[in-house]
Amino acid sequence: MRRYAIAFFAGLPLAFAAKAVEPVIFYTAHFNDNTVVSLGLVSNRTAERAGYDFDVIISLSQGGSAAGTVYRDPGRHRAFVKCSDPAKVSVRGVDYPIRLSGAAAADWKDRLWRAICTPPVS
């Protein structure tokens, strides 16, 4: 029993540290009134849903150039990503196709797909 208690308490700092990680911003939109909306990748893991590669959680924050971050959406938004052809991002049961060739689109679904499915370049 003592061994289990030690393992539990030793793992607590890791659990709290994991929660403190800031999302990786993959898309930012700027509006005429100086509002900035950012979408961040909170987590990604292997998808449990057939036909998809990743199950991701997205955060949303809104700010302005003068005031800094004004609003952080407390919700976490789920999406599914399929990297191979036909590449797609699924949100609330709606599949959005991703073009693998040609010019990269600028919408958030394309940016999410690229953040998850393309290897980083150094």
Q: What is the pLDDT along the chain (122 residues), one digit of tens a residue?
A: 434 333 333 443 434 344 557 899 999 999 998 889 999 999 999 998 999 999 999 999 998 766 566 788 998 899 999 999 999 999 999 999 998 876 666 799 999 999 999 877 76
Strands 35-46 and 54-64 turn out to be: antiparallel
Asked if residue 17 belongs to a domain, the reply is: no
pTM of the model: 0.74
In a domain, 111, yes or no: yes
CA atoms within 13 A on the CB side of 105: 12
In a domain, 94, yes or no: yes
For residue 62, being part of any structural domain is answered with: yes
> Is residue 4 in a domain?
no
Q: What is the largest CA-CA distance in the chain?
A: 61
Note down the domain range covering 47: 23-117
Rounded distance between C-alpha atoms, residue 98 and residue 105, angstroms: 9
Give the count of domains, the chain: 1
Q: Are 119 and 98 in contact (CB under 8 A)?
A: no
On whether residue 14 sits in a domain, the answer given is: no
Within-domain flag for 68 = yes
